Amino acid sequence: MRPVGSDRIAGFGTSIFTEITALAVKHEAVNLGQGFPDFAAPDFVKQAAARHIRDDRNQYAASPGVPRLRAALADDWRRLYPHARAVDPASEITVGSGATEMLHDAVMATINPGDEVIVFEPAYDAYAPDVAMAGGVVRAVPLAPPDWRFDPERLAAAFGPRTRALILNTPHNPTGKVFARAELEVIADLCRRHDALVISDEVYSEILFDGAAHVPIATLPEMFERTITIGSMGKTFSVTGWKVGWTIAPAPLTAAVRAVHQFVTFTNSAPFQEALADVLPAAADNGYYPQLRADYARRRDLLARVLRGAGLEPLPIGGAYFLLTDIARLGYTSDADFCRKLVTEIGVAAIPTSVFYARPDSAPPVARFCFAKKDETILAAAPRLAKLRR
């Protein structure tokens, strides 16, 4: 019998998140691996969804997204970036099934077979498979610890006649790096010179620390017209299971994204889209965002204390909800071995960051711990991690 899978998916395998989660369940580990909150979602968010389900907003939504939601997203863009170009909700916003679908749609909509796509490594695990499904080729440019800067010359050298796009992620998973405006200007300048698009994954845009500012690359001069900005409600409102994501892009790019979206999912859940339309203006009014950042700063500090107690010094971060630690200090050379031992013997799940590299052996030995967790969850890891010292 012929292999059942297409050539396109050869090598995709099972994601490390699935493997570590299964090990965490089997060994009853404290799960600081996968990036989702284990605390309750905010009441005003849950009530909005319940209301729209009760009010029977339960049939197919318009394919590009519920009009009220697209209007609310355009308003939010104006509120957050008042000096940037305004966004037209009718022709420049598309809503789909989480950032995951929107990344896939954006790549399929713009990448031809043989096109090159630049990504910074470590890279979120969906980017390379999306590019592979489109027949494109990834060109990786490293971010170097501890501050995860890129070498501008190395980035410039990655651009060539086949470069079609660059995938950016800021705030960055897994490193917590928030790209500074000066870094974005270097990227933007190269993209303009080489006529390359930017697919900018900004799902952690609201989770920022110590005064770090999130700058969408689309707000830089002449960048809106070549950028697809991707957002998601999952991280911002602690509802990763709702899967509402969106793209903001100029009309021609939006038309291309919608051409894919209509045949991938056509539309996503109507009541959750209606809910987000209520939640966005409410959150801007009720002090939700400063509270979100204060809560995450507290959880970050708590996890940092727990890690330090185990001899694991966390690297500094500007955003997102992960802390990374160099595990070479504990004598490990492979972060995958460390994380397998951690989950099976110590009883704590973390993610080896080498899985965010095309060539895992080129990665620094660093483990990722998620602090989108209740205080009790983080504290439950403390006595277990302390065993590492022995």
Nearer to ligand PLP, 33 or 234 (CB): 234
Q: How far is the CB of 5 from ligand PLP (least distance, A)?
A: 23
- Check residue 129 for interaction with ligand PLP (CB under 6 A): no
Which amino acid is residue 388, in one-letter code?
A: L
Q: How far is the CB of 1 from ligand PLP (least distance, A)?
A: 34
Residues 80-99 contacting ligand PLP, CB under 6 A: 98-99
Residues 96-115 contacting ligand PLP, CB under 6 A: 98-100
- Check residue 176 for interaction with ligand PLP (CB under 6 A): no
Select from 117, 224, 239, 124 the least CA-distant residue to 170.
124
Among 77, 120, 124, 246, binds ligand PLP (CB under 6 A): 124
Among 23, 29, 32, 35, binds ligand PLP (CB under 6 A): 35
Among 37, 42, 129, 234, binds ligand PLP (CB under 6 A): 234
- Check residue 173 for interaction with ligand PLP (CB under 6 A): yes
Q: How far is the CB of 29 from ligand PLP (least distance, A)?
A: 20
- Check residue 169 for interaction with ligand PLP (CB under 6 A): yes
Q: How far is the CB of 99 from ligand PLP (least distance, A)?
A: 3
- Check residue 365 for interaction with ligand PLP (CB under 6 A): no
Nearer to ligand PLP, 98 or 314 (CB): 98
- Check residue 245 for interaction with ligand PLP (CB under 6 A): yes
Nearer to ligand PLP, 132 or 310 (CB): 132
Q: Give the span between the Cα atoms of 272 and 278, in whole angstroms.
A: 10
Q: How far is the CB of 124 from ligand PLP (least distance, A)?
A: 4
Nearer to ligand PLP, 272 or 332 (CB): 272
Nearer to ligand PLP, 99 or 134 (CB): 99
- Check residue 363 for interaction with ligand PLP (CB under 6 A): no
Nearer to ligand PLP, 174 or 347 (CB): 174
List Cβ neighbours of 180 (8 Å cut-off, separation of 6 or more). 215
Q: Give the span between the Cα atoms of 243 and 121, in whole angstroms.
A: 25
Among 203, 339, 355, 370, binds ligand PLP (CB under 6 A): 203
Nearer to ligand PLP, 99 or 363 (CB): 99
Site pattern 319..358 for ligand PLP (x: CB under 6 A): ----------------------------------------
Question: Tokens 């009853």 label which residue?
Answer: 28
- Check residue 273 for interaction with ligand PLP (CB under 6 A): no
Q: What is the CA radius of gyration of the chain?
A: 21
- Check residue 201 for interaction with ligand PLP (CB under 6 A): yes
Nearer to ligand PLP, 35 or 365 (CB): 35
Q: How far is the CB of 243 from ligand PLP (least distance, A)?
A: 6
Q: What is the 3-state secondary structure (H, E, C) of the chain?
A: CCCCCCHHHCCCCCCHHHHHHHHHHHCCCEECCCCCCCCCCCHHHHHHHHHHHHCCCCCCCCCCCCHHHHHHHHHHHHHHCCCCCCCCHHHHEEEECHHHHHHHHHHHHHCCCCCEEEEEECCCCCHHHHHHHCCCEEEEEECECCCCECCHHHHHHHCCCCEEEEEEECCCCCCCCCCCHHHHHHHHHHHHHCCCEEEEECCCCCCECCCCCCCCHHHCCCCHHHEEEEEEHHHHCCCCCCCCEEEECCHHHHHHHHHHHHHHCCCCCHHHHHHHHHHHHHHHHCCHHHHHHHHHHHHHHHHHHHHHHCCCCECCCCECCEEEEECHHHCCCCHHHHHHHHHHHHCEECEEHHHHCCCHHHCCCEEEEECCCCHHHHHHHHHHHHHHHC
- Check residue 250 for interaction with ligand PLP (CB under 6 A): no
Question: Residue 332, CB half-sphere, CA atoms under 13 Å: how many?
Answer: 20
Among 163, 200, 227, 232, binds ligand PLP (CB under 6 A): 232
Nearest residue to ligand PLP, by Cβ distance, number only: 98
Task: Compute the CA torsion angle 288, 294, 298, 300 (nearest 10 deg).
Answer: 90
Residues at the contact surface with ligand PLP, assessed by CB under 6 A: 35, 98-100, 124, 169, 173, 201, 203, 232, 234, 240, 245
